[in-house]
Amino acid sequence: MEMEGVKLPVVEIFNSISGEGISAGEIVTFVRVAGCNLRCDYCDTMYSYQDEEYELLTPQQIVNRINNFGTQQVICTGGEPLEEDKPKRYLPLYLAKQGFEVRIETNGSWSVYNQQELQKFGLDGEGINYTLDIKCPSSNMAEYNLFTNLEQLGLNDEIKFVVQDKSDIDYALKVIDDYKNELSKQEIVINFSPVFEELAPKKLVSILQEHQTYFAQFNLKVRLSIQLHKLIWDPEVTGV
């Protein structure tokens, strides 16, 4: 698919550690695109969907900036990188075609790539992985969850529940129960991430321990995910 000359809305490109999930602690380069269709109550990157907060870059300009950091691992985040009918949806595919290992952080309201989209870039899905956010009630966005995505995920993909209270945890456990066969068969990592300064991590650990027998029964890969970058730097600092 031709992308040369297309300009994409980019909020920031920076090199840091991955703060959460499978890749937590690894040195990666982030590409944050502008624009998001959701408005989660606890969103910590609201600047990514404010119109004045981005610059327009060609895919090659983005590649050049990534190359300046010398890392092969790229996390495409937002905003929302997978919004359909927008050129930014194809940036992760373009980057994978250039040889980068790409992880896509998506809000879970848009479909992951289908085979036709992959084939347009000469890809088979290798080198592209997903961190799929499943919205819980406290986000006020749970109605937008696209659960059919769970059937398309595979090894090295992960889902994330950002939880603030008991209703969120109960919701997450219900989703896990409904899709336990898919999650187990495809070895999907299941992250529980407490809303920063709203739910104490040690309390969440205790709750997960209460359900560990169930998780083990179905070979579910459940883990606690803490936002490391908010512990290392000021939570309000961007570009880290």
**Residue list for the binding site for Mg(2+):** 45
| Dihedral sign computed on CA atoms, order 233, 48, 198, 214 | negative
Q: Which residues are annotated as a binding site for S-adenosyl-L-methionine?
A: 42-44, 79
The token duo for 184 is 């187990």
**Exposed e or buried b per residue across 109-141, where buried means at least 16 C-beta atoms within 10 angstroms of its C-beta:** bbebbeeeebeebebeeebbbbbbbbbbbbbeb
Do β-strands 27-33 and 101-106 pair in parallel, antiparallel, or remain unpaired?
unpaired
Give the residue numbers of the binding site for [4Fe-4S] cluster: 36, 40, 43
Burial of 180 (0-12, 13-18, 19+ CB in 10 A): middle
Whats the size of the chain, residue-wise?
240
Q: Which residues are annotated as part of the binding site? A: 17-19, 32, 36, 40, 42-45, 77, 79
Residues of the binding site for substrate: 17-19, 32, 77
